[in-house]
Amino acid sequence: MAALLALENVSKTFGSLRVIDGLTLAVDEREALGVIGPNGAGKTTALNLMIGRLRPEGGAVVFAGRDITSAPPHARCRAGIALTHQIPHPFDALTVFENVLVGGVFGAGASERAAYGPSMAALELAGLAAKANTRAGTLTLLERKRLELARALATGPRVLLLDEIAGGLSEHEVHELVEVIRRVNRAGVAIIWIEHIVHALRSVVSRLAVISAGRMLMDGAPDEVMASAEVQRVYLGIDVQ
């Protein structure tokens, strides 16, 4: 069975710097995939290639069996690819529900009436329904992260791209966020999650990919990947003899 979303042998340069170098990375329907790698490895660039903010110089981006390499970001979002940002930027003056409704209307391309139900469902899934009428500017960091998730879910994604969404949270807050991400995946949404908090990743994902210098270093079961001497050397800086 073909992957749901894939980068196929893609390359991306910025000036003379090759950030992505022949990378192939794919996620299947309903799968949860974790992505790790040292700083500057090209992880966020890979997500930006998937969402359409960047175009590769070589290779292809394929979604649901269709080449979307030339498709603009809004078309990819409406097709079923959503992204959450590392630093949430809600519309502070709007309520939580209004923020999510923006995702449903502009992200999914639905009318306000049609977006109402999916927006409420997204708030429920993200565990933020009790804050629906709260002004977004008053939320805690964890609540802003939940709102970022809910706004992405309101677009009706088949695959959700998470870019270090647990960053800045306490250990207890990370655990709460992990529970939300598990619920999203159990609801049938595929996940590609970039994260430096590896124990959080390992509690959700069934597969772990390691990117180094824009190339795939290793891809496999989380325990096998983290036990690799090469991964420990490149990612953790541990030279295992």
Q: What is the mean pLDDT of the chain?
A: 95
Q: Is the pLDDT of residue 195 over 90?
A: yes
Give me the pLDDT at residue 235, please: 87
Strand order of the sheet with strand 81-84? 81-84, 159-163, 190-194, 32-36, 207-212, 215-220
Amino acid 145 reads: K
Look up tokens 């994260």; give the residue.
195
pLDDT in tens, 21-65: 999 999 999 999 999 999 999 999 999 999 999 999 999 999 999
Cβ–Cβ under 8 Å, residues 176 and 207: no
Q: Mapped to the 3 state alphabet, what secondary structure does 148-161 carry?
A: HHHHHHCCCCCEEE
In a domain, 152, yes or no: yes
- The pLDDT value recorded for residue 239 is 57
Within-domain flag for 5: no
The verdict on residue 140 lying in a domain is yes
Which pLDDT score, from 0 to 100, does residue 61 have?
98
The pLDDT-based confidence of 241 (bands split at 50, 70, 90) is: very low
2: in domain = no
Model pLDDT for residues 91-121, shown as the tens digit of each residue? 999 999 999 999 999 999 999 999 999 999 9
187 CB neighbour count, 10 Å cutoff: 11
Total domains in the chain come to: 1
Check pLDDT > 70 for residue 238: no
Decide if 19 is inside a domain. Answer: no
- Domain of 139, CATH number, reads 3.40.50.300
Residues of the domain holding 223: 29-54+72-236
The mean pLDDT of 162-166, rounded to a whole number, is: 96
Q: Could you tell me which residues come within 8 angstroms of residue 87 by beta carbon, excluding any fewer than 6 positions away?
A: none
**Which has the closest alpha carbon to 85: 35, 48, 41?**
48
User: What 3 state SS string does 172-208 have?
Assistant: HHHHHHHHHHHHHHHCCCEEEEECCCHHHHHCCCCEE
Q: Tokens for 225?
A: 């990947």
pLDDT of residue 211: 97
Q: Report the pLDDT value the prediction gives residue 142, as an integer from 0 to 100.
A: 97
Report yes or no: 123 and 132 within 8 Å, Cβ to Cβ.
yes
**Chain segment 197-220, per-residue pLDDT in tens:** 999 999 999 999 999 999 999 999
**pLDDT reported for residue 2:** 77
Q: How far apart are CA 61 and CA 81, in angstroms?
A: 12
Has residue 18 been placed in a domain?
A: no
Q: Which two tokens stand for residue 90?
A: 């809600």
Measured between alpha carbons, how far is residue 131 from residues 48, 110, 166 in Å? 30, 23, 20
79 occurs within a structural domain: yes
**Is 67 within the bounds of a domain?**
no
What are the φ/ψ torsions at residue 236 (nearest 5 degrees)?
A: -100, -10
Predicted TM-score (pTM) of the model is 0.94
The CB-based long-range contact list for 163-167 (8 Å cut-off, 24+ gap) reads 163/44, 163/47, 163/83, 163/84, 163/85, 163/86, 163/194, 164/86, 164/194, 164/195, 164/196, 165/84, 165/86, 165/193, 165/195, 166/195, 166/197, 166/200, 167/86, 167/196, 167/197
User: Of the candidates 81, 159, 64, which has an alpha carbon nearest to the alpha carbon of residue 72?
Assistant: 81
pLDDT digits (tens, 9 = 90+) for 127-157: 999 999 999 999 999 999 999 999 999 999 9
